[in-house]
């Protein structure tokens, strides 16, 4: 059995986990900073980095304690090295280096996106840990929207991605526009629950003949609709006082119509890509994969098996980093691939195939 300690601090979650053989979670501890950043309406990078410093060691200790594992039982340390906020990444990477050096453990730098991909390999409800390649992966997070085909472990062929806003970014921006607060994704989902997804005919950017996505036109369409409603004398059957918030039923309809537009495009393009590459299975991952409408629509529409992690593994966590570290470190044809102690953080890091991966 190979035990990997995973560490994740790329944004505003301080996380540590112990995972056996890349699949079985012995612990998965996440300290959220969401309350700290709420008053800024988004993640404040300097505040995030400072909070990681305070939280990282207790979180790691809790991960070991919950797993009932001592330092000596660990085989390697895997840590997110990018993409993300540099100040935040530095805290996790330096903690991992300190542990690797003092305990004489291999260090594995992990791409955060690869972590999201491997959240689908963890043993958890909704996941299909045993897979046959090729697998089609849709990564939808706050910073990324990527369609990738995997023909083997560590082998990523990018089919397309967003040409402007990421899906999660669109949720966050539209939530702000509708006065729904932060974080935007869960707030839109909640507001949309009481809304009519057909109330507003928002555009779907299909970008034909590509696997790319675009969400900025949709965001602008929501803005225009809000401005129009504010100009109108009445909205939702009630008289609007200029400058006052929109009535909740109108906000619900806007949220539901926006969410439906995002879901339609994500599901439609994913299914087409899966058919085109002859995928055996579709994997959904990243923070937006927590969206109920998206999960249900993809499961309903897909002729292929669909793997979607439970909510706690969709948003940022360290179990997925440990899993990715295991498959990158131990499962490639050339054997173990580790990093040296000069491993650095990288703010913008594309998802690339591992050395030794057969692409
Ligand atoms: O993967 P993640 O935790 O962090 C990044 O790597 O970016 O994703 C965060 C994103 C945010 O934009 C958040 O609004 C979105 O995921 N999100 C959701 C939901 N839960 C989180 N979007 C839609 N519906 C949700 N239920
Ligand atoms: Zn993420």
Q: Give Cα 273 distance to the centre of its chain.
A: 20
Q: Count of residues for the chain? A: 359
CA 255 to chain centre: 21
Could you give all domains of the chain from N- to C-terminal order, each with its CATH number?
3-124+313-357 (3.30.420.40), 135-308 (3.30.420.40)
pTM of the model: 0.95
Minimum CA distance residue for ligand 1 atom 14: 185
Q: How many angstroms does the Cα of residue 212 sit away from the middle of ligand 2?
A: 20
211-233 per-residue burial string, b: 16 or more CB within 10 A, e: under 16: bbbbbeebbebbeebbeebeeee
pLDDT in the model for residue 238: 63
Tell me which residue has its CA closest to atom 3 in ligand 1: 315
* Residues contacting ligand 1 via CB (< 6 Å): 11, 141-143, 168, 171-172, 183-186, 189, 286-288, 290-291, 315-316
- Ligand sitting nearest the alpha carbon of 172: 1
- Indicate the top mutation candidate among 140, 170, 185, 312 to test ligand 1's pocket, ranked by most ligand atoms within 8 A of CB: 185
- Please report the DSSP string for 16-29 in residue order: EEEEETTTEEEEEE
| Beta bridge partners of residue 328, listed in sequence order | none
Cα 240 to ligand 2 centroid, rounded to whole Å: 39
Cα 242 to averaged position of ligand 1 atoms, centre (Å):
32
* Residues of the chain under the 50 pLDDT cut: 357-359
Structure tokens at 176: 């702000």
The DSSP code sequence of 226-288 is HHHHHHSSEETTEEPPTTSPPPHHHHHHHHHHHHHHHHHHHHHHHHHHHHHHT-SEEEEESGG
Please give the pLDDT value at position 335.
65
Q: Nearest ligand, CA of residue 143?
A: 1
Ligand 1 site-directed mutation target among 41, 84, 142, most atoms within 8 Å of CB: 142
Report the pLDDT value the prediction gives residue 331, as an integer from 0 to 100. Answer: 67
| Cβ atoms 317, 78 nearer than 8 A | no
CA 203 to ligand 2 centroid distance, Å: 27
Gap between the Cα atoms of 320 and 323, Å rounded = 5
User: Rounded to the nearest whole angstrom, what is the distance from the C-alpha of residue 323 to the centroid of ligand 2?
Assistant: 14
pLDDT at 358: 40
Element (H, E) at 107: strand 107-111
pLDDT at 139: 98
Identify the H or E element spanning 102. helix 86-103
Considering every ligand atom shown, identify the ligand nearest to the alpha carbon of residue 30 and give its number: 1
Closest ligand 1 atom number to CA of residue 112:
6
- Which pair of tokens denotes residue 194? 């009481």
């Amino acid at each position: 059995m190979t035990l990997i300690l995973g560490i994740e601090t790329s944004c505003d979650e301080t996380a540590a986990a112990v995972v056996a053989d890349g699949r079985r979670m012995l612990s998965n501890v996440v300290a959220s900073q969401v309350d700290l950043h709420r008053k800024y309406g988004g993640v404040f990078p300097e505040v995030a980095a400072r909070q990681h410093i305070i939280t990282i060691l207790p979180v790691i200790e809790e991960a070991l304690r919950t797993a009932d594992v001592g330092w000596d039982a660990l085989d390697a340390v895997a840590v997110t090295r990018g993409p993300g906020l540099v100040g935040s990444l530095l805290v996790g990477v330096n903690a991992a280096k300190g542990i690797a050096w003092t305990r004489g453990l291999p260090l594995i730098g992990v791409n955060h996106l690869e972590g999201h991909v491997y959240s689908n390999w963890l043993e958890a409800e909704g996941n299909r840990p045993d897979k046959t390649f090729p697998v089609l992966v849709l990564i939808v997070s706050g910073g990324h929207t990527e369609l990738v085909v995997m023909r083997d472990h560590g082998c990523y062929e990018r089919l397309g991605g967003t040409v402007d806003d990421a899906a999660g970014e669109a949720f966050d921006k539209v939530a702000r526009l509708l006065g729904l607060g932060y974080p935007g994704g869960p707030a839109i989902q909640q507001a949309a629950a009481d809304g009519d997804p057909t109330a507003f005919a928002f555009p779907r950017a299909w970008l034909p003949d590509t696997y790319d996505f675009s969400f900025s036109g949709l965001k602008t369409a929501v803005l225009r609709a809000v401005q129009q409603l504010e100009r109108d004398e009445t909205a939702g059957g009630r008289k609007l006082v200029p400058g006052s918030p929109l009535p909740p039923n109108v906000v619900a309809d806007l949220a539901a119509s926006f969410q439906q537009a995002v879901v339609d495009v994500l599901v439609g393009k994913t299914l087409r890509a899966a058919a085109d590459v002859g995928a055996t299975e579709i994997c959904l991952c990243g923070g937006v994969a927590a969206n109920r409408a998206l999960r249900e629509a993809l499961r309903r529409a897909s002729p292929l098996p669909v793997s979607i992690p439970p909510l706690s593994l969709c948003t940022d966590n360290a179990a997925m980093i440990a899993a990715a570290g295991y498959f990158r470190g131990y499962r490639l044809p050339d054997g173990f691939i580790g990093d040296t102690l000069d491993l650095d953080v990288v703010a913008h890091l594309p998802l690339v195939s591992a050395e030794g991966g057969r692409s």
